[in-house]
Structure 1
Amino acid sequence: MRVMKWSMIALAVAAGTSQFAMASSQDEAKGFLEDQSLKLKTRFEYMNRDYKNGAGNVSNGDGTFKSGYRQDSGLSQLLTYESGFTQGTVGFGLDAMAMGSVKLDGGSGRRGNGLFANDSDGNPEKSQGKVGGAVKFRVSDTVLKYGQQFVASPVFATDDSRLLPEVATGTLITSKEIKGLELSAGRFTALSKQTGMGRDSIGGLPDEDGNGGKGLTSINIFGASYSFTDNFTGALAASDADDYFKKYYVNLNYTLPINDEQSLNFDFNGYHTKGDSRGDLVDAIGDGTTGVDNNLWSLAAAYSIGAHKFTLAHQRSSGDNAYYYGVDGNSTIFVANSIQISDFVGRDERSWQARYDLNMKTYGVPGLSFMTRYVMGDHITTNGLGEGKENEWNAESKYVVQEGPAKDLSFRLRYAMYRSNGAYSGYSSDNNDTRLIIEYPLNIL
């Protein structure tokens, strides 16, 4: 299948000479200042994880816990500046970012939700911040960017699920010279975590002797996506994370329109991970199994009718271990059953999802939406503990202000209930997860 897809893209490239646009993006450049933008995103986040069945948060060292829950809240601001490109054959530009957060609530006994880093005494930091920048060059419809940036590749994706996003340092080239075809390639040498203010603060997985955790040293990535028709797209991606693994990804997405009110969508995602020189990496759930070789795929089918969407998905993981990610970005998992708490990617795991979405625009309330889903996973191989099983239920409501001074202000309430059996309790303890996220994006320039 992979060879066939590469051949199809090669044919698209060979036949694409007639699809070049008459005027490229660089030909239409208005100037460094003329195309600049300055945006400020303010985010409030409250997060509570209430543990069940005797589990807890911070251990007292005697089998008991300081509390049975994690709870904290904070406020963050992300300021991003993007210049335009100078005119001429080669356009030059600059991007910059500044971000910071403050703790509103949360103490040492309730820490651990990932909103704040801990100080030397184990207490959450009261505030944190970081800045970054990048230079960029454009020739025709090809852009080269070097410096600190956010990345959204299926094999290297920075996470933005808490107060502050992860930030990658490196080079990324993106080319859109042929209509419908996008190519990308990059090399990154550092990744700062959401609570890490350092340039390279992502820790790695230790080896079987407990050594390691050195984080990302370098990763090379490549990606290609092509729109075969308005309703059918495909994508390929690959990465090589030094001393960790090589990873390959494929996606096929097809939408079948039925009429103006109905459609069917099919989405396939697949990963193949092959351990690199440190093939003795211990798995993410710490059950003693070695190696990171893994195959992971999911297939989702969604039926939309008016305001309603019904989705069924199946996902499977196989190989020497569970699917591993993190050192290559904590959003590097583009599969159907990666949801609020669990990703359902255990060793040999099989999982099913049923989901329902409702868009209230049809009923006269634009901007209001609801979602609920349930995922059940079983057949998980453990280290002599029997078959692992897990399940999770999510419910979510979101409202986005549509007009007026507060346009684009959003309110998002998320709830999750996660449970696993005793054989798989080492992955994540049973807990109920509640989050309130309020965001206000403002275009200053």
Structure 2
Amino acid sequence: MCVSTPVSADFINESKANLDTRNFYMNRDFRQSGAAQSKAEEWAQGFILRFESGYTDGPIGVGVDATGLLGVKLDSSPDRVGTGILKSNREAPRRAQDEYGEAGFTAKLRASKSTLKLGTLQPVLPMLMRNDTRLLPQTFRGAWLSSNEVKDLTLDLGRIDRVNQRDSSDNEEMTVFNGGRRNIVLGSVKASDEFLFGGASYKWTPQLSTSYYYGGLDGIYKQHLVNLVHQLPLGEGQSFKSDLRFARSTDDGGSNVDNDAFGALFTYRLGANGFTAGYQQMSGDTGFAYVAGADNALINLVQINDFGNQDEHSWQLRYDFDFAALGVPGLTFMTRYINGDNVDRGPGLSEGKTWERNTDLAYVFQEGPLKNLGLRLRNASTRSNIGSDLDENRVIVSYSVPIW
């Protein structure tokens, strides 16, 4: 604390701290597929404490961020373990631990409009998206430089060496996701301690933006991603949004990764209504490659599937409604249906097919003593001849408390 008064004031006065709580119940039913375990069902309470400091004064400002994560078991058993909301032991019989957590710290340096972060990171970038769909978020460890020196241009460059999965408290090496019918074959290198990324996003007009990003998991795969987003106003209360994405993935000496992924998503908004249609196509010798446990940039990444298997073609229809138009602000509804086919199942086998249906109902209290309390119900069903048939329900109660 041996700093001058102006420095101390900037560092402290611009700081903020927030506590997010999540009460998470999840039930995944395997009975439709005849699986050995009939269902996964668990209930837990999560706490996410985030602190972000300001910066010291001077040409290079110095700051620090901290994250504290804690998950507490409320209900689980060996015959219902495996939802991903609790950490469980790796030896049989699997049991969920009573609690788990981690503390992460990030040093940050700011010069002009550029920021360098070192330590715990939670990137949301096309080639690397932290997964935050369970009790606690996935985190990464590394260095990330982000620059906005040129107006409307964002540049990103970084290196990641470890990942902490959403149901873990261990920093581990990374590998590529290979579920479903990805058909990715790894050589002697099964995991990597280096993910390099870089890219740029530019906003040409308030309605048009484009981006290019590169991401590579050393010794396993490398990937180039291009994205174009255009928002077309159509008059009062109406708009049409186009979102086009293309990714080229190849091996990096230690796998057979070879994939082209194309996606197009179109959304028409009319008042409180949103109508969306999308198409996604995989081609090449494997399915889409990305870091295991993370989210990805595919347009058909939904509650259970991402429809990124080898040669898979899929389409999506979606409807959204905002009940603020009916005098109930904070209440929203979403439903969608995704259908995929043409999956390569191997010589002599028919094409692989999958469909998934999602429904999401959410409400956030807008005022009164329960302001910022959020309630969310999520339901999903999927049927497939290349994976398990699943019925899933999630109930999430969240609350955010500003501390500083």
Fold similarity call, TM over 0.5: yes
Classify the secondary structure of the residue corresponding to 2:324: helix
Change (3 A) 1:294 1:351: same
Say if 2:128 is the partner of 1:156.
yes
Q: Is the 8 A contact 2:189 2:219 kept in 1?
A: no
| 89 and 209 in structure 1: CA distance in 2 versus 1, 3 angstrom threshold | closer
Displacement, 1:210? Answer: 8.7
Q: Does 2:54 correspond to 1:84?
A: yes
The answer for the alignment partner of 2:202 in structure 1 is 226
**Which of the numbers 263, 273, 298 marks the counterpart of 1:298?**
263
1:177-213 deviations in Å (ceiling 9; x for gaps): 1111111100111111112211226555688589654
**TM-score after normalising by structure 1:** 0.84
The aligned counterpart of 2:302 is 339
Contact 1:72–1:110, Cα closer than 8 Å, also in 2:
yes
Alignment check: 8 A CA contact 1:416 1:432 kept: yes
- Residue number in structure 1 paired with 2:369: 405
* In structure 1, distance between residues paired with 2:190 and 2:158: 23
Q: Which structure 2 segments of 5+ residues have no match?
A: 1-6, 179-183
- Which amino acid in 2 is paired with 1:33? I
Given that 2:163 and 2:174 are in contact with CA atoms closer than 8 Å, whether structure 1 keeps it comes out as: yes
- Which of 68, 89, 92 lines up with 1:98 in the alignment? 68
Residue 393 of structure 1: aligned partner: 357
One-letter code aligned to 1:302:
T
Task: Output the aligned Cα RMSD.
Answer: 1.9
Return the alpha-carbon distance in structure 1 between the equivalents of residues 8 and 343 of structure 2: 54
Q: Does 1:319 align with 2:289?
A: no
* 1:257 pairs with one of 213, 233, 241: 233
Whether 2:10 is the aligned partner of 1:31: answer yes
Partner amino acid, structure 2, of 1:265: K
* 1:275 equivalent in alignment to 2:251: yes
- Which letter does structure 1 place at the counterpart of 2:284? G
Cα distance per residue 1:244-265 (max 9 Å; x no partner): 1111111101011011111111
Shift of 1:442: 1.4
**Where do residues 13-412 of structure 1 align in structure 2 (5 Å cutoff)?**
31-56=10-35, 65=36, 67-119=37-89, 120=91, 121-200=93-172, 202=174, 204=176, 208=185, 213-214=190-191, 216-279=192-255, 291-327=256-292, 330-331=294-295, 333-384=296-347, 385-412=349-376
Q: What is the deviation of 1:382?
A: 1.1
**What are the superposed Cα offsets for residues 229-286 of structure 1, whole Å, 9 maximum, x if unpaired?**
111111111012111111111110101101111111101122111111112xxxxxxx
* Partner residue in 1 for 2:400: 441
TM-score (norm. length: structure 2) = 0.93
Query: 1-side partners of 2:346 and 2:249: how far apart?
Result: 21
Partner Cα distance (2:245, 2:391) in 1: 28
Q: Is the 8 A contact 2:127 2:290 kept in 1?
A: no
Q: Secondary structure at the match of 2:88?
A: coil
Change (3 A) 1:241 1:321: same
Q: Answer yes or no: is the 8 Å Cα contact 2:176–2:289 preserved in 1.
A: no
CA displacement at 1:297 relative to structure 2: 1.5
Contact 1:184 1:222 in 2 (8 A): yes
1:135 to partner: Cα distance: 0.7
The number of equivalent residue pairs is: 391
2:166, 2:273 → 1: CA distance? 35
Whether the 8 Å CA contact 2:20–2:401 is kept in 1: the answer is: yes
Do 2:264 and 2:299's aligned partners in 1 also have CA atoms closer than 8 Å?
Answer: yes
On the 8 A contact 1:205/1:212 being kept in 2, the answer is no
1:209 to 1:242, Cα distance in 2 relative to 1, 3 A: closer
> Quick check: which one's strand share is greater?
2
- Structure 1 unpaired stretches of 5+: 1-27, 57-64, 280-290
Q: How far apart, in 2, do the equivalents of 1:343 and 1:432 lie?
A: 16
The structural deviation recorded for 1:335 is 2.2
- Contact 1:186–1:221, Cα closer than 8 Å, also in 2: yes
